[in-house]
Amino acid sequence: MSDRDTTGTAAAGPAGTTGATGTTTRRRLLTMMAGGAFAAAGGGFLSACSKGSGAANITLTTNNGWPYGPMPNAKDQKANPGTKAYADVLKAWLDENPGVTIKNSTLDVWNQQTLTTALTGGTAPSMFPGDVIGGWNRANVRAAMSQGLAAEVTEHLKTYKVEEKLADYVKPIWEKWAIDGKFYAAPWIYNVGTGLHYRIDLIRELGLKEPTPDWTWDDVRELAKGLSQGKRKGIALQGWGLNAGLSADGMDFHSTIPAPDTGWNWRWDYTSRADTWVPLIERMRAMIFEDKSVLADVSLGDGDLLAAFFRGDVAMHNNTVIFFASAPGGDNAPADLAKKLDKPIEEVVGWMTQPVGGNGRSTSTQGQCDLVGFSPDLDDEQLDKAISLLTYMQGPGWVKQRTATYEHTKDPKHVFDGANIMPLYKDLVDQAPSSPDEAWGKPFMDQVRRAAQIPIAPNEAFYFSPENNTGPTTTARDDMSSRWANERGNLDLRADLAKLDQTRNQQAKSFTSSRSDEEFVKSARNYYEAHDAYWKANAPEYHQNVFRDWYDNTVLPALKG
């Protein structure tokens, strides 16, 4: 995962993974984040009884209960208190919005090709996970929005005062999604991003050093080696996790150079800083092949990692924070692991933000706000009702569902599960019973709140206009990651980096950007100036020792033409 785009987490991140495993990962992730709403998903549809006369007949289609589904039947409500709570909340909204029908769609909205085909063909549901249209890549999502794959909803968001309702930790992220002052989605859920989940009990049992906010990937290596005992590996890393140690030092960021004199406007140069990158790659390979402390596979999905962690096959895994807060009774929930060991969760599992790179560089843990998109075929009335439903369920409906859940379970872990530990709207936690601290322990929530305060680094997607032309893929970079993680023996890493340059630059020659050279240069200058200010304020040692020289001698000359 390139640190030029911090979606990943999400990535997410997700964080966010993409490709064959990414669809399943994101579907499961968003299900967890939505909490109780998903218990209400079901077939069929609901027709609200009209109050008064002249009520418009409006149909909204959603996907298998995402983000919200039709009214559950009486049998399901009786069998599941969470479903009953959802039904009560939904009925309250429907009573205020007569004539609205919510209908279930079975289209696979988690598959990018399927969803975009449906959107262009006019068969997509009214609401869909907005990040999917761009494969969870921010720049691609914005490009898809600008090309008409999502309805423009700026005025509707103003009507329901969405931005005013957002929590302070969400606003700096959400406001960047505007394209020329217009919004093409609504905020769905927030989380603080990715970090390392680890077994506190095993660390203490072995007398090892526990993670701290300033830990490095050298510290991770030492801890993973110490935790590797018998058949247990110290850490599990999926594809993007394998690159995390490289991203901490900005490998892909520093190797991507503006080139306005070329058709694509970018070139790649991993070779000139090979003295920096080779030791980082060697460290990753040493963890895998020498220490034998890593369960590593580029095809690992979140489900695989969570299961391995629950079984005790691994003692750490790199993932989105919300997996810590999985409600008890789910697949491989940390809370169930703590129950199995008969210990409080804060004595069994911990979570820490991503390790920092050299010279204190760190942007790997970054807050993220996932999106709800709306079909471009919806008219104003339909959009109004869709956003009305969304904002009600995220505000008053959230409080009512959380309260009903607590009344039934008396367990705050079911109240503040998944992304509910950090609600999208402000002041909601104070209105709900219990607290995230009671649910998951103050040490964990202290780290979550600290992560929410990490300043958001400049992201390329928000400084350049949406790219309307197809560009080169990251396949060459992904293939190289796979080679480094799987091929034994002595690899010529410098030759690999040179080959990566050659391959990526050769591929780029076949593509032309939709941006004019003048526009690109102006945007690039703003982008790198923002980085200059960000690093000076947040990582002064890295800014002085690494960034400034690269910025002055590589970036600025390229932008002078």
pTM of the model: 0.87
Angle at 394 between CA 96 and CA 13, to 5 degrees: 150
Nearest of 399, 394, 401 to residue 430 by alpha carbon = 399
| 439's tokens | 């649910």
Q: Which CATH class is domain 20-191+369-452?
A: alpha beta
Instruction: Please report the beta strands in 109-234, taking only residues with DSSP state E, as ranges in sequence order.
Output: 127-129, 186-191, 194-199
CB 466 within 8 A of CB 145: yes
Domain ranges within the chain, ordered by starting residue? 20-191+369-452, 194-360
Task: Specify the 3-state DSSP secondary structure of 140.
Answer: helix
C-alpha span between 115 and 124 (Å, rounded): 7
C-alpha span between 166 and 445 (Å, rounded): 20
Digit-by-digit pLDDT tens for the chain (561 residues) are: 334 333 333 333 333 333 333 333 444 444 444 443 333 333 333 333 333 334 469 999 999 889 999 999 999 988 888 889 899 999 999 999 999 999 999 999 999 999 999 999 999 999 999 999 999 999 999 999 999 999 999 999 999 999 999 999 999 999 999 999 999 999 999 999 999 999 999 999 999 999 999 999 999 999 999 999 999 999 998 888 888 999 999 999 999 999 999 999 999 999 999 999 999 999 999 999 999 999 977 677 788 889 999 999 999 999 999 999 999 987 799 999 999 999 999 999 999 999 999 899 987 899 999 999 999 999 999 999 999 999 999 999 999 999 999 999 999 999 999 999 999 999 999 999 999 999 999 999 999 999 999 999 999 999 999 999 999 999 999 999 999 999 999 999 999 999 999 999 999 999 999 999 999 999 999 999 999 999 999 999 999 999 999 999 999 999 985
C-alpha span between 422 and 415 (Å, rounded): 12
* Matching fold, domains 20-191+369-452 and 194-360: yes
**Distances in Å between the alpha carbon of 56 and those of 49, 98, 336, 379, 381?**
12, 8, 47, 12, 9
DSSP 495: H
Radius of gyration of the chain (CA): 24
DSSP 294: E
CB 1 within 8 A of CB 25: no
C-alpha span between 280 and 513 (Å, rounded): 32
CB 127 within 8 A of CB 104: no
C-alpha span between 29 and 131 (Å, rounded): 13
Residue 496 — φ and ψ, nearest 5°? -60, -45
Provide the CATH topology of domain 194-360: D-Maltodextrin-Binding Protein; domain 2 (3.40.190)
